[in-house]
Amino acid sequence: MDVTRSIWAWARLVGGAAILAAVLWKLGTGAFLDGLRVLDANALVAALVIGAATTVLSAWRWCLVARGLGMPISLRGAVADYYQALFLNAALPGGVLGDVDRAVRHGKGSGDLGRGVRAVVLERTAGQIVLLVVGAAVLLLVPSPVLALIQAHGPTVAAVTVGTALAGVLALIVLRRMRRGTSRAAGAARTGLAEMRAGLLSRRTGPGVLLASAAVLAGHLATFMVAARAAGSGAALLTLAPLLLLALLAMGLPVNIGGWGPREGVMAWAFGAAGLSASQGLTIAVAYGLLAFVAAAPGAVIVLVRTVSRVRSRAVVPAGAPALAVPALPVAPVLPVVPALPVAAPALAFRIAATTPVSPAPAMAARPIIIPAAVPPARRATIRAGGRKPALTGGVAA
């Protein structure tokens, strides 16, 4: 599984690099470098302003979807995370690593990683659906090289369209039947359909998601127009709209390097097929890529601030934490003071029975310890004449 993912990641990078190399080999590096030179301060400021508006709208769309799934998120936090995701998407290969980081961050922060990932997937899917619907309508109705190509290959295009529609209907039927079962796949199908209804199609979230997606698409088209005007194109919006929408659709292909590759190839072909300059199409595509990177540049500040804050939080000891654990020295136990027993008056004799602790041997009766009483000294008696001597203590009369 890991090997497959690694191969697919490298295939995406190699595919995007191959498309860029083919375009540069065909048109040369001059048109590519012109895309770097044509931008001025006004174009950069316009990109920042339009980017701020589209980022806030995209973050609002994410909030609506997440709240529909029962995962509340503040608009302020969503804007910061979205800016960071846009910068990582533009700076790192693949073009989706920022969204992955955003999904994981929100999922872990809310305590439900799976639902957090699905919220981001649904939010991005909503934008892609609106792009597909608007792009298909414009390409089918507005004169463009794509419309001419469709008319030239009418039967083939009709067959592909009918096949795609039938595949979509079949997928819906399969999902509806799968959700009735008790397997793990059936549970996943039920969860997916329920979250799709709650996050995208409910009355509380659907209108806002649709409005935000349409406004974000308009912002991308406006950025493309800024790049076209900076590159010197004076074509009308109605003429450029099909070409720019086609380029936005190409950017969704999973073969790119941070969004670069298919966009440049499609723009060069579309402008050349429309009777415009293919080199100018490449220049506009390069200028748009730079403007999109500038619009996402505030995300770099957010990444830097969060990184510094994380490093400081690891280095500073939290308040209230013990500075150093010092082992306590052993203290001798204090023995209780036993009062002295009163000494009884001397008696003739007494017995004291004392017992001492013994080993776990069979218990034996305590033997009495006989202590002889103190014998008072003999007293001298005066012998009178004719009298009898007194008997000594313990003696008998003579």
Neighbours of 371 (CB within 10 A): 10
Average per-residue pLDDT for the chain: 82
pLDDT at residue 228, rounded to an integer: 95
How confident is the model over 184-228, as pLDDT tens digits?
Answer: 777 787 888 888 899 999 999 999 999 999 999 999 999 999 999
CA distance 102 to 110: 12
CA distance 129 to 63: 18
Could you give the residue ranges of the DSSP H alpha helices within 252-394?
262-273, 278-295, 298-315
pLDDT at residue 72, rounded to an integer: 85
Q: How many residues does the chain have?
A: 398
Residue 87: which of 305, 301, 311, 306 has the closest Cα? 301
The sign of the CA dihedral 312, 313, 315, 318 is: positive
CA distance 368 to 301: 93
How confident is the model over 280-325, as pLDDT tens digits?
Answer: 999 999 999 999 999 999 999 999 999 999 898 887 655 555 554 5
CA distance 16 to 27: 17
- In the predicted model, is pLDDT for residue 135 greater than 50? yes
> What ranges do the domains of the chain cover?
13-315
pLDDT at residue 344, rounded to an integer: 47
- 3-state secondary structure string, 159-172? HHHHHHHHHHHHHH
Q: What's the pTM?
A: 0.75
pLDDT at residue 187, rounded to an integer: 79
How confident is the model over 109-123, as pLDDT tens digits?
Answer: 888 999 999 999 999
Provide DSSP, 238-250: HHHHHHHHHHHHH
